[in-house]
Amino acid sequence: MILRQTVLTGVFFLATATLAVPPVHAQGAETFTATAEVKTAGGAASTAPVTIVVERKMSQSESDRFTAAFKAGGPAGLRKALAGVPATGTVQLGGGAATPTRLTLERTTDKGRLLTIVTDQPLLFLGAGMPGAKPKEGYDFAIIDIEVDAKGSGAGTLAPAAKVTLKQDVFVVDDYASELVRLTAVKKVK
């Protein structure tokens, strides 16, 4: 199980997050390709292509609505608030079907910009067939973070099945997978 603390850029932006930078809003759809890479402690490795299409990014006021829903009702409250929200794009892992994304946020960084993309369903339960795999209940989201430079190149991470909790005003992503999935060779293709 991988736990990582994050502010989920804008979606779960808290008033206490003083390091936040104003979001950048680009016009038009963007498509990014990447390679998802995972390596187990035993040395086994696997890769898969990933395609991310960003059709729109959320404004701060729109994301504040979802932050409030999460704070009031946890993951179930967020899921309820997302009902009927138009997709912000899609993510496709390997040869699988494209999954709609529900939250897409962007903010500037010292290297360019950070995109945080959230689906309201898991993409894959990595390691679910392994002996002793934990139950799948509660891993209701997938979360992607990619940081790209001005040319659209970069890297990131993918939690293909994640639980999101709030601990001491910090959002914590609990990834179903026991190994971190890295996104390498991220490239904006259009």
Which pLDDT score, from 0 to 100, does residue 184 have? 97
Which residues, in sequence order, are bridge partners of residue 184?
35
**How many Cβ atoms from other residues are within 10 Å of residue 151's Cβ?**
9
pLDDT of 117 > 90? The answer is: yes
Judged by DSSP in three states, 16 sits in coil
Residue 84: which region, alpha, beta or left (left: phi > 0; alpha: psi -120 to 50)?
Answer: left
Q: What is the mean pLDDT of residues 96-101?
A: 94
Q: What is the mean pLDDT of residues 104-124?
A: 93
Which range of 26-35, 131-140, 143-152 scores highest in mean pLDDT? It is: 143-152
Pure H helices in the chain: 60-82
Q: What's this model's pTM, rounded to 2 decimal places?
A: 0.82
Alpha carbon distance 18, 26 (integer Å): 24
Q: Which of 79-83, 93-97, 125-129, 147-151 has the lowest mean pLDDT?
A: 125-129
Model confidence at 102, pLDDT cuts 50, 70, 90, reads very high
Alpha carbon distance 173, 118 (integer Å): 11
Domain ranges of the chain: 2-188
Alpha carbon distance 120, 87 (integer Å): 10
| Average pLDDT, rounded, for the chain | 82
Which pLDDT score, from 0 to 100, does residue 88 have? 96
**DSSP conformational letter for 166:** E
Alpha carbon distance 121, 102 (integer Å): 10
pLDDT tens-place string over residues 34-57: 999 998 777 888 999 999 999 999
